[in-house]
Chain A
Amino acid sequence: MTPIVEGRGLTRTFPMAGGVVTALRNVSIAIAPGEYVAITGPSGCGKSTLLHLLGCVDTPTSGSLIFEGREAAGLSESERSRIRLTRIGFVFQRFFLLPMLSAAENIELPQAEVGTAPATRRARTRELLDYVGLVDRAHHRPSQLSGGEMQRVAVARALANRPALVLADEPTGELDEDTGEQIAALFGRVHADGTAIVVVTHNQALAARAKRHLTMRRGAVTDA
């Protein structure tokens, strides 16, 4: 099966005042459609860097990244934006919901950017709010939602344009254990519905739901 995204020999270094820091060393990885991958490892081991490369928000210092058959290095910024908008869904540790918009409006935002008709995106938004169990909170702003509710809205936003791949960076990092478990269950449903997921996490319960586990240490995948 053709992978959604494939990284070959990915290396990412950052020039710092004290010298060059290598965050990722020669990592090769492929994510197949419908796969559920958890990446774990200690802080600073390169998990988020790898996730950013897979999500086309960063470019490798060396190596190549191929997204749905296209070499990411050859894409313009607007083409990478388009891929992120239509083929990838991001879930962040800090949610990054727009505070001045309601839950429904936050979910509508990426759909509007694609050009989805208002009636269609309202229907899709309602469907997603129902999916994450927040229909009654549609018109609430993020400040009126709990952390778990905000992350559920963020998951719904990530799914808004029916992406092939959802990338989640510590999605339970700001949540308590019970709420984290609810988010883990939600990711389980998303995967069950056929969306590929790569989640970077320290949460063992969340990682345990993945079908494939990658452990990273010092910028390299040590256990796959």
Chain B
Amino acid sequence: MTPRALAWRTITASPARAVLAVAGVAIIGALLFDMLLLSRGLLLSFRDLLESAGYDVRVVASESFPVVRLPVPRASALAAQLEGLPEVQEVAVVRTDRANVTLDTSIPDQAFSPDRTQEEPTTGQRSSQDVTLVSVSSAAERRAWQVVRGRGLAEAASGLARPPLLVSRRLAKDLDLSPGSTVMVRVVLAGAPSALPRVRFTLVGVAAFSFDRSDDFTAATTADAFRQTQAESGSDDADLVLVSSRAGFGSAAAVAAISQVRPDVKPFSNDELVSRFNENGFAYFRQISFVLSSITLGFAFLLIATLLTMSVNQRLGQVAGLRALGIPRRRIAAALLWESTWLVGGGGLIALPLGWLLATRLDHLLKQMPGLPERLHFFVLEPRAVVLHLGLFVAAGVAASAYPIWVATRLPIAATLRRDAIS
């Protein structure tokens, strides 16, 4: 009988104890798995969020981005200059402002014929809502959001009597909006009444925005319409200029080229932004995750070591008997190592789906924090975390079985047999 089979028979001989042991290991393993997912989840999710926009360089006004976000002056000229660089494929100017959106039921846009059959049941109760109003250059529209109902801005703009507006699903639901609705939009100023004009828009579609937050509403319109809401003030400031590097050059080359021609602005590649995020905002999660992972791993080690040590201590006479019969130390060590492997392996594998379920729930809770994009996740499943989890568990299992193996293989046979006979 192989040590593996012997270990299996030993474990299954006490099914209740085995189930409790595996359950304990699985629960601890689930926590460890969650900590490993948390250790990089936000970072991976942040990178995914950046890349989902389809641009690999972000040009801002100051080095202190993203902590301090200053407007980029003369953004249209900057965009035109950047488009001329051989390292640059595409440029998009992003402008945002706070605005108030009000449902206007008086005048439907006759030029827009929405597909009413696609409407979702709505439960909206409000007639007005403060939102983040966004505009990007038309070329970037296809990347910044995904239209889920109605049409896109560029597609619907021609032939409309009024400027087009896209709203997030949450805003559509909250104001009971659907494609074809007419809304009034007025840019608002924090803490002061707005003297800017109300502009009447036609809602052309509902979209899923990459950076939509769970505690905010988003609406998007064209650059021209955005300027109308600013009362044609003439300002050409932008919040952000997005750049996608040309194939064959890459983001680093694009960043270098932009820095050379426009030293007054600061370009960041996605990698640089993720790195900054990792050093600043994410360090907190990483440290918490490291501490909790270490504690959890310690618990896993103690649990397995205690279970195996107790199991061996209960069988010292039996082990001494086996060694007296000539069963070599290495066979006994191998059998104990297999016992550890069965317990840790079983618990460790169960820990993966259990941990993922727990992570999903925790992610949902953590995402309730204000100011976070809805698509940002704290727990991201990645092969590296699975491999690391299994690797750490194997290491814990091997380390935890070291002491009981030492006890079993080094016990004095004669003295143990004598003690067993006396007891």
Contact = CB atoms under 8 A, between A and B. Distances in A.
Nearest to A14: B415
Contact of B324 (A77, A84, A105, A109): A84
A170 interface: yes
A191 interface: no
A110 B326 CA distance: 8
Contacts of A112: 1
A82 B328 CA distance: 8
A55 B324 contact: yes
B360 interface: no
B414 A98 contact: no
Contacts of B421: 48, 92-94, 169-170, 173
Contacts of B1: 101, 105, 108-109, 112
B413 A57 contact: yes
B318 A82 contact: no
A100 interface: yes
A90 B321 contact: yes
A14 to B, nearest CB: 8
Given A48-B421, A101-B9, A170-B421, A96 B322 contact: yes
A158 B322 CA distance: 11
B313 interface: no
Given A90-B321, A96-B317, A108-B1, A113 B418 contact: no
Nearest to A113: B327
Interface string A108-133: 11101100000000000000000000
Interface in B380-423: 412-414, 417-418, 420-421
A181 interface: no
B323 interface: yes
Contacts of A89: 325
Chain A interface size, under 10 / 10 to 19 / 20 to 34 / 35 or more: 35 or more
A100 B9 contact: yes
Given A94-B317, A94-B421, A86 B327 contact: no
Interface string B38-52: 000000000000000
A161 to B, nearest CB: 8
Contacts of B412: 58
A48 B414 CA distance: 9
A99 B11 CA distance: 11
Nearest to A101: B9
Contacts of B13: 99-100
A49 interface: yes
Contact of B418 (A48, A84, A86, A158): A48
A105 B327 CA distance: 14
Given A101-B9, A112-B1, A86 B326 contact: yes
Interface string A70-93: 000000011001111110111011
A59 B322 CA distance: 18
A217 B213 CA distance: 90
Contacts of A162: none
Contact of A85 (B6, B9, B327): B327
Contact of B417 (A52, A81, A82, A85): A52
A159 to B, nearest CB: 12
B12 interface: yes
Given A96-B318, A105-B1, A112-B1, A83 B413 contact: no
Nearest to B8: A100
Nearest to B9: A100
A173 B10 CA distance: 27
Contacts of B417: 48, 52, 57, 92, 169
Contact of A58 (B10, B321, B328, B414): B414
Contacts of B325: 84-85, 89-90, 109-110, 157-158
Interface in A54-75: 55, 57-58
Given A92-B321, A101-B1, A81 B414 contact: no
Contacts of A170: 421
Interface string B5-45: 01001101100000000000000000000000000000000
A81 B328 contact: yes
Nearest to B412: A58
Contacts of B10: 100
A206 to B, nearest CB: 16
Nearest to A92: B321
B331 interface: yes
A112 B421 CA distance: 27
A108 B325 CA distance: 12
A108 B418 CA distance: 26
Interface string B102-143: 000000000000000000000000000000000000000000
Contacts of B98: none
A91 to B, nearest CB: 10
A92 B322 CA distance: 11
Contacts of A55: 324
Interface of B: 1, 6, 9-10, 12-13, 317-318, 320-329, 331, 412-414, 417-418, 420-421
23 contacts: A48-B418, A49-B414, A52-B414, A57-B323, A58-B414, A77-B329, A78-B329, A81-B328, A81-B329, A84-B325, A85-B326, A86-B326, A92-B324, A92-B417, A96-B320, A98-B322, A99-B13, A100-B9, A101-B9, A108-B1, A109-B1, A109-B325, A112-B1
- 9 A-B pairs closest in CB distance: A85-B326, A96-B321, A84-B326, A100-B13, A58-B414, A52-B414, A100-B9, A57-B413, A81-B328
Interface of A: 48-49, 52, 55, 57-58, 77-78, 81-86, 88-90, 92-94, 96, 98-101, 105, 108-110, 112-113, 157-158, 169-170, 173
Given A49-B418, A113-B327, 6 more contacts: A52-B417, A58-B413, A81-B327, A85-B326, A86-B326, A169-B421
